């Protein structure tokens, strides 16, 4: 995670399944976006603003940027802890991620995603996050 202010956070444990690994039993790099998504859903559930609730509020929030920094590999059967934290919310939703070994705490991967609010009514990008996000994060 960055040293930025954390407005909300959550974490989850994932056991690396066989179908996520290559011949060397190392998790394929593309699956890390999925691991981020699992933690992001836990985070959004924890603040009461998951994807269903976003839609009900009149907005969808596409990911427009994904950054991943691979530090150490995750392996088949390894339990990883995926932490997600909202670090920006006013004009965009930035969620920072950190993946560590669930047992040792060894850092494996870090990254972030950027999402923006888009009105479902007219498909217009919102230049500021809708007030519902601040309300759900408890910063309104």
What does the pLDDT profile of the chain (140 residues) look like in tens digits?
557 899 999 999 999 999 999 999 999 999 999 999 999 999 999 999 999 999 999 999 999 999 999 999 999 999 999 999 999 999 999 999 999 999 999 999 999 999 999 999 999 999 999 999 999 999 98
Using CA atoms, how far apart are residues 16 and 102, in angstroms rounded to an integer? 11
Q: Where are the alpha helices (DSSP H) in the chain?
A: 32-46, 51-56, 131-137
Q: Give me the pLDDT at residue 3, please.
A: 72
Q: Give me the pLDDT at residue 80, please.
A: 98
Supply the pTM of this predicted model: 0.94
Side-chain-side CA neighbours of residue 24 (13 Å): 6
Using CA atoms, how far apart are residues 87 and 96, in angstroms rounded to an integer? 7
Tokens for 33, please give them: 């976006």
Tokens for 23, please give them: 């011949």
Using CA atoms, how far apart are residues 26 and 137, in angstroms rounded to an integer? 36
Q: In whole angstroms, what separates CA 105 from the centre of its chain?
A: 19
Q: In whole angstroms, what separates CA 43 from the centre of its chain?
A: 7
Q: Where are the domains of the chain?
A: 8-137
CATH superfamily placement of domain 8-137? Hotdog Thioesterase (3.10.129.10)
Q: Give me the pLDDT at residue 51, please.
A: 94
């Amino acid at each position: 995670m960055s040293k930025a202010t954390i407005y909300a956070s959550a974490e989850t444990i994932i056991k690396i399944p066989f179908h996520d690994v290559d011949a060397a039993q190392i998790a394929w790099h593309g699956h890390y976006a999925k691991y981020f998504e699992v933690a992001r859903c836990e985070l959004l559930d924890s603040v009461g603003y998951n994807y269903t609730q976003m839609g009900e509020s009149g907005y969808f929030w596409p990911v427009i940027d994904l950054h991943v920094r691979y530090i150490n590999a995750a392996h088949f059967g390894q339990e990883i802890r995926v932490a997600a934290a909202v670090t920006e919310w006013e004009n965009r939703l930035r969620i920072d991620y950190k993946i560590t070994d669930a047992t040792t705490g060894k850092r494996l991967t870090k990254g972030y995603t950027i999402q923006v609010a888009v009105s479902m009514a007219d498909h217009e990008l919102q230049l500021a996050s809708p007030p519902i996000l601040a309300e759900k994060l408890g910063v309104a």
